[in-house]
Structure 1
């Protein structure tokens, strides 16, 4: 699996020994309040890490490290190989919020998506998650609309905001 680096972060493959570090954020109700999953029980986190260690084809999960400490995750999923479309999502431990790490992670994964040959990459966020919306906009994704009643989360139908971008055209390239 590819390893990605930013100025301050390392995005690497998950390892079986990552369960405890992942569970710190995956079990935190504040961290997952806008997610469609969680807060995780330990068994949920173990299952996630097992799948992330051996991901299905088209899935590119990365553990996010700062100074050798796992602080979150980001995943890129190819949603259509034929149409070269993908989507990504990210989550960071509460102690990593407000430092620009999410923007670094999103930028790195978006560049990786285009290196893989994807043409269009999308991401969604909860309308109340203002910080995530800012990350997506800073990363170069454009707001495309509101997906009403898109997810059923913890007994409630939730909307999502859709953001996307297309691969920048290279000089002389045809689309």
Structure 2
């Protein structure tokens, strides 16, 4: 299924293209210090970094129906990536969202807008039922994204993903389609997202 770009004001998402590889690699290299604490790593040791190959793999997963690789743009300029991964069909009908944004674009509501649009695509174009975002307790900026959009806190996952050289704890947040019949973006823009859905109970809180 070919997905059309989505946009809201100056912010848009579209499927990644092979020619984006150079731009994305440059952004990642220029933002190494900014992104390193949140980047997935391999428990087997360092791996080579080849964005052309990475984009090729993402597009193959897209063709196979296993993921949706978006580029986030601001006023037509690449600002980061948003990947829908781990798509499960059938009785589960779910997927997970991951993303990164360049430091120079931080603070412009690019990530929450892109997450909202991508979630709407998954619910209303791809027919998925549940979308999940997992966030390190130390990542205050990403926690603010799920707070803004009203993603519901679902629990603490101990040593869940290998990030920045070790297995890291993550908080899990999710939405199901019935919670947002009007769409995630419209609910947020209309100021109707619940303000306390993403609140982490004291028993699960880990200081960042």
TM-score range, shorter chain: 0.7 to 0.9
Contact conserved, 1:25 with 1:92, CA < 8 A, in 2?
no
TM-score, normalising length from structure 1? 0.86
Structure 1: runs of 5+ lacking an equivalent: 171-175
TM-score, normalising length from structure 2? 0.73
**SS of residue in 2 equivalent to 1:32:** helix
Contact conserved, 1:123 with 1:163, CA < 8 A, in 2?
yes
CA shift for structure 1 position 93: 0.9
Structure 2: runs of 5+ lacking an equivalent: 182-208
- Distance change in 2, residues 1:16/1:41 (3 Å): farther
Structure 2 CA distance, aligned partners of 1:44 and 1:161? Answer: 29
Find the counterpart in structure 2 of residue 103 from structure 1. Answer: 112
Find the counterpart in structure 1 of residue 56 from structure 2. Answer: 50
Q: How many pairs does the alignment contain?
A: 169
CA shift for structure 1 position 24: 2.8
Find the counterpart in structure 2 of residue 162 from structure 1. Answer: 172
Q: Whose helix proportion is higher, 1 or 2?
A: 2
**What's the RMSD between the two structures over aligned residues?**
2.2
Q: Whose strand proportion is higher, 1 or 2?
A: 1
More displaced, 46-55 or 100-109? 46-55
Contact conserved, 1:78 with 1:84, CA < 8 A, in 2?
no
- Distance change in 2, residues 1:42/1:36 (3 Å): closer
